[in-house]
Structure 1
Amino acid sequence: MTNGGAAPHSPSDDSPDFERPLLHAHGGLQAGKHPAAGRDHEAQCSPDAGGATFVRTCFNGLNAVSGVGLLSIPYALAEGGWLSLVLLLFVAAVCCYTGQLLQTCMSASPAVRSYPDIGARAFGAKGRFAAFFLPVAELYLVAIGFLILEGDNLDKLFPRTSLSLGLGIVVSGKHLFFVLVSIAILPTTWLRNLSVLAYVSASGVLASVVLVFCVLWATVVDGVGFQGKGTMLNFSGLPTASGLYTFCYGGHAILPTLCNSMKEKDKFSKVLVICFVACTLNYGSMAILGYLMYGDDVESQVTLNLPEGKLSSKFAIYTALINPFSKYALIVTPVATAIEEKLLPGNKRSMNMLIRTFIVVSTVIIALTVPFFGDLMALVGSLLSVMASMLLPCICYLQIFGTARCSRAEVVLIVTIIILGSLIAASGTYSSLHKIIHKF
């Protein structure tokens, strides 16, 4: 393949540290073998040779795309107004399309097996660094958001909870729950096999569906009703809404990992369509329900609005707590693997566990410092998710294959996505940072 007039780049063992692959395939290449040989071997293997099945990959994909964004989606709709639902559909379609672009970029060369490899194929060392840093930063901040969500909801379930550590030190409220949740989540981060992790992912996918029914139950049976009137369009809130919508679909950093973990990689495009359609239906249902219930008064997490003491409210919160617990490990795995491949020459189990433990501890510290869930997720969506899920896949695709090899309609579509994505990133980042600084 040509590289838009430039010589194509491929990973090399002699490259600097940041040029080495961020993630290897699940059950990847053996040392000393050429990447092309590994790919040829995979092509000849039967589907049962190793890796996750189609169904398991769908569970992992659904768990990667759907998750805590479900709780903030009514707040996003309240920020943008009813007409911003069109923006939700636009973001979903664009992110599904750019996921397909990533898969196509991976087919450009047998050596392209990860997101950083795609960046290197397009722009060399600088492209690899960008494709390494953006997804890792995005996933890391999302993991922090998970802890904030868990702490907020547990504090609502068990208000005024405290723990005395002696010497006059008392930990209470959200701070206590941040620590307790991290201890519970830590063992799941030690899992190395995504095929095994799919069983954990299944619980997160089920929790997302059950949560919508819990909110519906609170509305119809427990008498909350549809009290919110809402507004048709709120221009001032569109930057926040667009950032949160993009955050909801910002799982692209994991897509190459999921594709490489599949037995039948040629079916990954079907996995993408299933995941994005299912998640959009779930997101749309929750957005409409939450906004009809509470209107412009909806909280950044809709569970915080639910009436206290009701069984449906408690069940909804417990269900909401399952999702971050199941998804945290899937999110942290690429971050941990990136660090392990940089620092560890071999596969040392004890050091791997130590690195993943350090990641969990660091996310707890930051969550204690910046406990603003809605604003933090809007910032992640506007700044990092837009770049990793919209802009970078489009730019790399055009660079790798060249405009001459693409149809005119495809080029126009990709350029349009780049322009609109840039607008979302600029406006959303400014709005989110302004809100966070104001709350400090």
Structure 2
Amino acid sequence: MPVGTARTCMNGLNALSGVGLLTVPYALSEGGWVSLALLAAVAAACWYTGILLCRCMDADDAIRTYPDIGERAFGRTGRLLVSAFTYVELYLVATGFLILEGDNLDKLFPGARVTLGTVSLAGKRLFVVLVALVVAPTTWLRSLGVLAYVSATGVFASVVIVLSVLWAAAVDGVGFSGRGTTTPLRIAGLPTALGLYIFCYGGHPMFPTLYASMKRKSQFPKVYPYTHAH
């Protein structure tokens, strides 16, 4: 695999795989095992729209983002609408991640507190601020090639999560025989499950940028099997 394609795969995996590992278990508990069909449908839809995305961007070299596609299709109004939906989605996804990190770190380090003068932060609020400060510099990187190395740490973290679960099951005595309480299908939980499955692909808006950054754009369709079939 060419280096540029490998970097694009790394960025795509970082955007999708970690989210899926964190949300799919709860989605299954809400919708049941049959709800995995919804996950497959969402993945297929994102895969297909990704192929259409390549065709749209190949049609005009000036197209580099989703708003550009919206303007090409529906004029200035289309650009404004697509921009609004894209930025709102990215903002809410980032907010969701900060809340998730704050909750998890608060459970790992209960009672943490930092006081600077008259300002005191503790618990979830403290970790949300700390995570935001750590992540913020990565948003200033201009090269997606450099960002790929940052993304590699996210992929590594996803591998660690999987290995930790396997360790807990095989070594710590949890085992693999537990059936749990999840029923094959829970109709009432399907909307929640569907929302979480869609959240797994919340990084999809970044794919136009990934495509535009590739030197060998013809290799982009080969990225989807690695990123969308995780």
Same fold by TM-score greater than 0.5:
yes
Aligned length: 227
Q: CA deviation at 1:148?
A: 1.2
1:233 maps to 2:185: yes
Tell me the distance in 2 between the aligned counterparts of 1:105 and 1:229: 46
The answer for the alignment partner of 1:184 in structure 2 is 134
Q: Find the aligned partners of 2:201 and 2:131 in 1 and give their Cα distance.
A: 25
1:77 aligned residue: 28
TM superposition shift of 1:112: 2.2
Q: Secondary structure at the match of 2:60?
A: coil
Kindly report which structure 2 residues correspond to 1:279-428, keeping only aligned pairs within 5 A, or say none: 279=230
Partners of 1:209 and 1:135 in 2: how far apart?
29
Distance 2:122 2:58 in 1: 52
Query: Do residues 161 (structure 1) and 76 (structure 2) align?
Result: no
- 5 Å-filtered alignment, 1:6-405, equals 53-167=4-118, 169-225=119-175, 226=178, 228-277=180-229, 279=230
TM-score (norm 1): 0.49
Measure, in 1, the Cα distance between the counterparts of 2:17 and 2:39.
14
After alignment, is 153-162 or 102-111 more displaced? 102-111
Distance 2:99 2:164 in 1: 21
SS in 2 for 1:132: helix
Aligned partners of 1:68 and 1:146 also within 8 Å: no
Provide the secondary structure at the position in 2 that maps to 1:107.
helix
Structure 1: distance between partners of 2:103 and 2:193: 21
* Distance in 2 (alpha carbons) for counterparts of 1:201 and 1:194: 10
- What SS is found at the alignment partner of 2:51? helix
Report sequence identity in percent: 61
1:68 is paired with a residue whose SS is: helix
Q: Per-residue displacement from partner, 1:69-105 (whole Å, max 9, x unpaired)? A: 4212111111101111111111111111111111111
What is the CA distance between 1:227 and its match in structure 2? 5.1
For 1:116 and 1:229, locate their aligned partners in 2 and report how far apart those are by CA, in whole Å.
44
Whether the aligned pair in 1 keeps the contact of 2:93 and 2:202 (CA below 8 Å) is: no
1:77 aligned partner, one-letter code: L
Secondary structure of the structure 2 residue equivalent to 1:163 = strand
- What is the deviation of 1:236? 0.7
**Offset at residue 186 of structure 1 (A):** 2.4
Cα offset for 1:171?
2.0
Q: Which residue number corresponds to residue 433 of structure 1?
A: none
In 2, Cα distance between equivalents of 1:209 and 1:66: 10
Report if the CA contact (8 A) 1:59-1:205 is conserved.
yes
Q: What residue ranges of structure 2 are gaps of 5+ in the alignment?
A: none
Do the aligned residues in 1 keep the contact of 2:19 with 2:199 (CA within 8 Å)?
no
State the alpha-carbon separation in 1 of the partners of residues 19 and 108 from structure 2: 18
For 2:136 and 2:203, the matched residues in 1 are separated by 21
**C-alpha distance 96-163 of structure 1, shift in aligned 2 (>3 A):** same
Which blocks of at least 5 consecutive residues in structure 1 are unaligned? Answer: 1-47, 280-440
Which structure has the bigger radius of gyration? 1
Residue pair 2:90, 2:202 contacting (<8 A) in 1 also: no
Aligned mates of 1:151, 1:96 — CA distance in 2: 31
CA RMSD across the alignment? 1.8
| Alignment partners' CA distance in 2, 1:121 and 1:159 | 51
Distance 1:112 1:186, change over 3 A: closer
Distance 1:115 1:185 in 2: 24
